[in-house]
Amino acid sequence: MEYKPLGRTGLKVSAVGLGCGNFGGVGSAPAFFGMGEGDAEAFAIMDAAQEMGINFFDTASAYGGGRSEAAIGRWLKTKGARVRDQLLISSKIFNPVGEGPNDRGLSRLHIMRQIEVSLRRLGVEHLDLFLIHEPDPATPLDETLRALDDLVRLGKVRSIGASNMPAWLMTKALWLSDALGLERFAWVQNSYSLLDRSDEREMLPLCADQQLGYTPFSPLAGGWLTGKYRLGNPLPAGSRMTLRPEPYRRFQNERTARGLQALNAYAAARGTDMAALALAWLMSNPLVTAPILGPRRPEHLEPAQRALALKLTPEERAAIANLFEDGA
């Protein structure tokens, strides 16, 4: 396993992060709470990740209605302090965690309440990494930043980051933090893959300029870059496209189908598979710290192992990107 600096935090994270959004649910969607992987499956995935050298586990307070954090906490109890001390646990806040009007968002009230719940579920005294899950237009940005700064000063959180963040708002947040003497966002966690390259326009240049880490989610575009979906064919039962297809419907078109066919041929010529090549393309970007994979089974981590062994030149990276024409 390779380990890379996460922005200016001083922390080194594995070149692949473990996404735990399928533990006890399917992300933050209430319709799927209690579904997803149970403890036996989740424990097997975390065991495989630990054995692979992954030291970065990513969850959120709303994943599975809290079941994801709780599952990680139960797993940690079986492992003891030695394992816990080597792991960097990241959680997020924004999505609803209850029925009340203040059970969501980025208000000081919600942040201060929910951090205690997350720490209790995980069975830890602090979070190494803590992100806003997405911006909250209903809360002044400075209120959120002051609350997060207080969490760092209180020792409940070590470093803060932002997910689903546009570049303009990240720029504003960094300016506010500097002006007010507050803890800065140290990394970004946005969608980025061969099929979603919008962050190349503004966010990645901002990360380079401000020395921010970058931990993309959906690096395989919800499974599209594994080859599991083919235009005109039935969707596999239990797949992301049958459970929560909304973020990925835009890939159901002829242009994507042609790009995937070309990617499959390119991978075969390199003696590898589509998923490994798509991950290697991400990892070979010097601005990418660690893509976050959300495996449903331990063997779903295997493409990441293969990707780590693939070294792409800048020319190969450009050729692979061009397979999807105007993918950016």
Mind listing the pLDDT tens digit for each residue in 255-293? 999 999 999 999 999 999 999 999 999 999 999 999 999
Bridge partners, residue 213, by sequence: 187
**Banded model confidence at residue 5, pLDDT cuts 50, 70, 90:** very high
Query: C-alpha dihedral over 144, 84, 50, 8, to 10 degrees?
Result: 40
What average pLDDT does the segment 138-164 reach?
A: 98
Tokens of 297: 């089974």
Tokens of 71: 């599952």
- Report pTM: 0.94
Please give the pLDDT value at position 87: 97
- Which amino acid is it at 72? I
Of 14, 7, 11, 3, which is closest to residue 212 (Cα–Cα)?
Answer: 7
Confidence check: pLDDT of 185 > 50? yes
Minimum mean pLDDT among 19-33, 37-51, 186-200: which range? 19-33
The rounded distance, in Å, linking the Cα atoms of 252 and 247 is: 11
Please give the pLDDT value at position 243: 74
The rounded distance, in Å, linking the Cα atoms of 228 and 236 is: 8
Residue pLDDT, tens place only, 187-221: 999 999 999 999 999 999 999 999 999 999 999 99
* 56-58 and 88-93 beta bridge pairing: parallel
The CA–CA distances, whole Å, from 187 to 144, 239, 245, 301, 320 equal 16, 30, 27, 24, 26
**Banded model confidence at residue 240, pLDDT cuts 50, 70, 90:** confident
Q: 168: part of which helix (H) or strand (E)? A: helix 167-180
Residue 8 exposure: Cα atoms within 13 Å on the Cβ side: 10
The CA–CA distances, whole Å, from 60 to 130, 161, 214 equal 9, 13, 17
Please give the pLDDT value at position 328: 38
Query: C-alpha dihedral over 17, 24, 155, 47, to 10 degrees?
Result: -50
Active site residues: 63
Question: Domain-by-domain residue ranges, the chain?
Answer: 3-221+285-301
The residue length of the chain stands at 328
Please give the pLDDT value at position 327: 42
The rounded distance, in Å, linking the Cα atoms of 87 and 128 is: 9
Beta strands in 138-276 (DSSP E): 157-163, 185-189, 213-214
Class of domain 3-221+285-301: alpha beta
What average pLDDT does the segment 89-111 reach?
A: 96
Contact call for residues 71 and 42 (beta carbons, < 8 A): yes
Please give the pLDDT value at position 242: 75
